[in-house]
Chains A and B, each alone.
Chain A
């Protein structure tokens, strides 16, 4: 079985006929300023003080971290700041071993979904402090803060094993 020839179709006409352009360099840049928004600004200011500030939905009572101005489930504005603990449970993870444009971390590195104590959905963090083959679902981890804190998630350098016993699977089953 082979591919049939492409029908010729009507010619695309250029006048005058042009020599082929094989490549052009076309650098593009875009400068912009981001306004973090009300809830995220509060969250980022709390980060620079070493606190994790989530946001609770008044209807479903779920706590979002990073916080959301509105609950994606209920479509209502979140109403209440909630302090979330800088420790939690690994629900799933990935070992990345592929180079890519824009990569910052050295390969291989481990990222995990961590269900922080007091939050209702997991968030991705960098995991360090143990060989990749020892990481597991249910493992308890705690934040290692950077030396200098600022209004950014980079204020948490990574999460490391906390030494606590593994969490009861029932406590995180719905997040796996």
Chain B
């Protein structure tokens, strides 16, 4: 299958915070979009189409927000598209935008994702009141905590692994000025002393609720000519599976494994553990770092926690994960997946500032959503495919 090369030539994100009272939702997405355009040396006039993603409309209670955001994103009179894949949406949105370039439909696409959690109640929206059933599951944590417990049991992982990830990602965030959480002096004792919200998940082992947005300008090879430091899209993949079926492994879902293998194939990567330099992985609860390392084939099954424990996933380690601080440090839900993709691009462009992974040439961006059932991933590279 032939496809046009696609490059990331602009990346922008907001300062993420609990409450961005200084901006409306249009103001929030515009802040990220203008930074991405500025990075690319372009204006709205240069953009052919806009692809927008966010988590379900029930969060902010604004139905089809892409319509009212069109003017803030300079999309009036241009093709605009909305993507829906729950928490993985930031990743899927970037992939849809990349495909518009790879298919030769457009030369320059602006892709944007956001969430304004201060104007929503995600915990309410994710505590489903299913007809004819009692309300038992409390938010995303209520759904994922039993899976974390299953992982700990299956892998025989020591209990401090979740604490280590929580500390490591917050230390990374101190190097990222855009991150929501800047927790000076964070250490294991602080995490261990925080309340157990959804046993076995503690308060400081969960992501914050953030207002924030992320944007990227994707360009064809021709449009990327002259771009200072493009990140080339080497491969993209999306997979999904039902939330519930007999024999489903919700801890290590088949859809995630298949997605990763399809991704490596498309990117021409035979040995991801050696060929990838860093990854931005969607880790909203700390234990998901080792769980996804295994699901992605970056660690053997049951061994992911050893990579965390050895310090391999910290900056300066052999395979830094979430050098930006990750979802554990900033979680504007709809944007969280795109931030993973964008941070991967910043790494291979050598533009990640104080959280730069030395010599990063190939980086993985990962997002998941729903009940660990939607997956979106890409690999970006400093080298043109």
Contact = CB atoms under 8 A, between A and B. Distances in A.
Interface in A146-176: 151-154, 174, 176
A19 B253 CA distance: 51
B61 A28 contact: yes
Contacts of A2: 177
Given A1-B354, A10-B44, A92-B147, A97 B132 contact: no
Query: Which of B138, B142, B195, B247 has the most CB atoms of chain A within a 10 A radius of its CB?
Result: B138
A60 B245 CA distance: 11
B312 interface: no
Contact of A9 (B34, B129, B177): B34
A17 interface: no
B127 A102 contact: yes
Contact of A7 (B37, B72, B177): B37
Contacts of A44: 132
Contacts of B177: 1-3
B15 interface: yes
B249 to A, nearest CB: 8
Contacts of B358: none
Contacts of A154: 132-134
Contacts of A132: 199
A111 interface: yes
Contacts of A124: 136-137
A100 B139 contact: yes
B138 A100 contact: yes
A89 interface: no
A7 B121 CA distance: 31
A7 B244 CA distance: 46
Contacts of B124: 100-102
A10 B37 CA distance: 12
Interface string B21-48: 0000010001100110110000110000
A103 B145 CA distance: 17
Given A1-B175, A93-B149, A153 B132 contact: yes
Interface in A42-93: 44, 57, 60, 62-64, 71-73, 91-93
A103 B138 contact: yes
Max count, chain B CB within 10 A of own CB: residue among A3, A96, A101, A121 = A96
Interface string A1-34: 1111011111010000000000000101000001
B275 interface: no
B133 A153 contact: yes
A73 B246 contact: yes
Interface string A108-119: 000111000000
Contacts of B159: none
A101 B123 CA distance: 7
29 contacts: A6-B31, A12-B72, A26-B61, A34-B131, A40-B132, A44-B132, A62-B247, A71-B245, A91-B150, A92-B150, A93-B146, A93-B149, A94-B146, A94-B199, A96-B141, A96-B142, A97-B197, A97-B198, A100-B124, A101-B127, A102-B129, A105-B135, A105-B136, A121-B245, A126-B134, A151-B132, A153-B133, A176-B153, A176-B154
Given A96-B145, A153-B133, 11 more contacts: A9-B30, A63-B246, A71-B245, A93-B146, A102-B127, A103-B138, A111-B146, A126-B134, A137-B153, A151-B132, A176-B150
Interface of B: 15, 26, 30-31, 34-35, 37-38, 43-44, 61, 71-72, 74, 121, 123-124, 127, 129, 131-139, 141-142, 145-147, 149-150, 153-154, 175, 177-178, 195-199, 242, 244-248, 353-354
Interface of A: 1-4, 6-10, 12, 26, 28, 34, 36, 40, 44, 57, 60, 62-64, 71-73, 91-98, 100-105, 111-113, 120-121, 124-126, 132, 137, 151-154, 174, 176
